[in-house]
Amino acid sequence: MNTPSGASGLVAEGVTISYGAVPVVRDVSLRIPDGGFTMIIGPNGCGKSTMIKAFARGLRPAGGRVMLHGRDIWSYRGREAARRVALLPQNPIAPDGISVRGLLRRGRYPHHTLLRQWSPDDDAAIGFALERTGLNDLAEAQVGELSGGQRQRAWIAMVLAQQTDLLLLDEPTTFLDIAHQYELLELCRELRDEGKTIVAVLHDLNQACRYATHLVAMRAGRIVAEGAPAEIVTPALVEEVFDLRCEIVPDPQTGTPMVVPEDRRRAAAAT
Ligand SMILES: Nc1ncnc2c1ncn2[C@@H]1O[C@H](COP(=O)(O)OP(=O)(O)O)[C@@H](O)[C@H]1O
Ligand SMILES: [Mg+2]
């Protein structure tokens, strides 16, 4: 591979995506910082999943381009792109009866060719992914029989096994209890410290503010603001993006912005 390690080189240039007549991502330009942990936030239906899919060639933009290392992502062969970008979709579906190891084997598919099938590299990649996600003891378990937290780790392990520099995770913490949410975010942060570039869609603004090195706020298919959480998260932004009135206080643990929604009864009584 001629990919500089740790470099994502992912850039959206005026990307527009439509399912029908109406575009759901509108002329979005965005440079994903290499080696960063970028979080995308925004209300339901604003186009987050659509955009992140386009970053992994899951959708072809109607206008504009997604550039990967200076080349249109669609100019790569499929496997070549999949060796550089891995996407965990919002609602991944595991084949019936597949084991954790079986799932991870699928992550190795982009590394195979007609001449080069299974190799020790594949075993090493799977071993690494199992180790990092704490799934060694569950490698032979069926994915369908895992708890929610374990299953989510299995999916993360699958994208890890793909051994890309760039990981795209669409709502990786949804359906997890609060402790498992933080466990997963910590794992992402460690991976980022080790050189991966991570992009995640997250619903919890306070978690996003704690973990993101770069925050992207979307509304109605457009980017409303981007930057370091402390620089962009204000009551005005939260109201603009989510139609929610709030106070922002420093997170007592980290000092990062923490959103405290306004109590509507109290606000009504005060006026
Ligand atoms: N496959 C599809 N066909 C038609 N419309 C879709 C499809 N997927 C998403 N949409 C619509 O596109 C908009 C953006 O969806 P999505 O990107 O999933 O938003 P988000 O991830 O921010 O919740 C929504 O209005 C949604 O209903
Ligand atoms: Mg979504």
How confident is the model over 217-240, as pLDDT tens digits?
999 999 999 999 999 999 999 999
Question: pLDDT digits over 162-193, tens only?
Answer: 999 999 999 999 888 999 999 999 999 999 99
Of the ligands numbered here, which is closest to the C-alpha atom of 43?
1
The confidence band for 5, taking pLDDT boundaries of 50, 70 and 90, is very low
pLDDT surpassing 60 at residue 94: yes
- How far is 67 from 55, CA to CA, in rounded Å? 9
Q: What is the mean pLDDT of residues 91-95?
A: 91
- DSSP label at residue 99: B
Q: Measured in angstroms, how far is the CA atom of residue 247 from the centroid of ligand 2?
A: 26
Does 22 or 215 have the greater pLDDT score? 215
pLDDT surpassing 70 at residue 3: no
Pocket lined around ligand 1, Cβ cut-off 6 Å: 19, 24, 42, 44-50
- How far is 161 from 118, CA to CA, in rounded Å? 13
The confidence band for 68, taking pLDDT boundaries of 50, 70 and 90, is very high
Do residues 106 and 79 make contact, with C-beta atoms less than 8 angstroms apart?
no
Other C-beta atoms lying within 10 Å of the C-beta of residue 126: 22
Worst-scoring range by mean pLDDT, 8-12, 32-36, 202-206?
8-12
Q: Are strands 37-41 and 214-219 parallel, antiparallel or unpaired?
A: parallel
Nearest CA to ligand 1 atom 10: 19
pTM across the whole model: 0.93
Q: Are strands 10-18 and 63-68 parallel, antiparallel or unpaired?
A: antiparallel
Other C-beta atoms lying within 10 Å of the C-beta of residue 186: 11
pLDDT surpassing 80 at residue 113: no
pLDDT surpassing 70 at residue 6: no
**Per-residue pLDDT, 120:** 85
Q: Measured in angstroms, how far is the CA atom of residue 106 from the centroid of ligand 2?
A: 23
Worst-scoring range by mean pLDDT, 29-33, 52-56, 93-97, 211-215?
93-97
Q: Measured in angstroms, how far is the CA atom of residue 9 from the centroid of ligand 2?
A: 23
pLDDT surpassing 90 at residue 63: yes
Buried b (16+ CB within 10 A) or exposed e, 54-71: bbbbebebeebbbbbbee
Mean pLDDT of all residues belonging to the chain? 93
Q: Which residue has the tokens 């980290």?
A: 254
**Per-residue pLDDT, 232:** 98
Nearest CA to ligand 1 atom 26: 45
